[in-house]
Amino acid sequence: MNIKITGIGSYIPESIEKNEDFHQHEFLNTDGSSIEHPNEIIVDKFKAITGIVERRYADDQLVASDIGFLAAQKAIDDANVNPEEIDDISCAHNFGEVKANTIQSDILPCLASRIKHSLRIKNQKCVAYDILFGCPGWIEGVIQAQAFIKAGLAKRCLVIGSETLSRVVDKHDRDSMIYSDGAGASIIEATEEEGGIIAHESASFTYDEAYYLFFGNSNNKDLCPDTRYIKMHGRKIYEFALTNVAHAMKDCLDKSGIDISEVKKILIHQANEKMDEAIVNRFYRLYKTKAPEGIMPMSIHKLGNSSVATVPTLYDLITSHKLEGHEINKGDVIILASVGAGMHINAIVYKY
């Protein structure tokens, strides 16, 4: 028995926010003081570091469970399965439902329950629950689905990652330009087909690193001090990810017994182009070799960082031949990897 991704789907919002749209923002330092550089320079420097040119924001009438449902329906259609035969639905996210132009998060009921309701699944034994695991949430959901199937607790699982980060950013913080909205979903099931999940690795670094990403006040000190926004210690995250994600990927690949020369693609969380490049280069240096050209597909340039949605969306774009210059063929070995709030990291070695 092999456990595979038999269906994949994603929802990419239609609304595009270009870098030039930030030229009129009032960016401030963390102490509330003005930044000495004009916004054009701030935005150009941001692009040079992250690679982001534009990002996608969900339409005002849509919330995280809505776009998660749209991605889930595509995954179900792609797998050609009966929704009533899904045993387990998990939805990874960070902030629940945040309606446009509001500040309150809503996770009652959980997003997975809302998505199951939208799918009109009657099967009461199809259990629906959420996963809070930072940006690696979708990958962790896939790992959990595999465990449930191996334990005989499920035969077919729906794993979703959905997020509307644009609604929890501080518009006075330069880091707000990183974040975007989106959703990805997958059907995971046991199959007699060759391939599937070969090895996985997860870890939570909380002793010193737990609050590298956190909820904090706006850089604009005139705004309500009780309203919180997503904040991060960017330099600490970069240094943490560079070492720990590369080692997690190596541990996972070593566990799989597959040689690094057989890896065809690395689908890494689309957090920051320079950081992702550095992680992959460090990973290959651990094997005393260089990263092959084209090993790391990127979607961040046009889609930004949509947290839990980045890896499944990237997988969907490649397998549906919508990412120019990249493809995954039957029998190819790929690595999925992510890092995010917690601080959590994980990786999967997968044979397509």
Which DSSP letter does residue 171 get? T
- Integer-rounded Cα radius of gyration of the chain: 20
The answer on 263 and 174 residing in a single domain is no
Task: Give the burial string for 296-331 (b: 16+ CB within 10 Å, else e).
Answer: bbbbbeebbbbbbbbbbbbbbbbbeeebeebebeee
Mean pLDDT of the 253-273 span: 95
The answer on 207 and 69 residing in a single domain is no
The answer on 211 and 173 residing in a single domain is no
The answer on 238 and 152 residing in a single domain is no
Domain boundary residue among 172, 193, 214? 193
Cα(173)–Cα(219) distance, rounded to whole angstroms?
6
Among all chains, which residue has been given the structure tokens 């926010």?
Answer: 17
Per-residue pLDDT tens for 160-199?
999 999 999 999 999 999 999 999 999 999 998 889 999 9
The answer on 209 and 137 residing in a single domain is no
Mean pLDDT of the 40-69 span: 94
| Partner residues linked to 8 by β-bridges | 186
Domain that holds residue 155: 2-193
Mean pLDDT of the 308-318 span: 97
3-state percent breakdown (helix, strand, coil) of the chain, nearest 5: 35, 25, 40
- The structure's pTM equals 0.94
The answer on 317 and 347 residing in a single domain is yes
Q: What is the DSSP string of 7-22?
A: EEEEE--SEEEEGGGG
Per-residue pLDDT tens for 99-142?
998 888 999 999 999 999 999 999 999 999 999 999 999 999 99
Q: What is the mean pLDDT of the chain?
A: 95
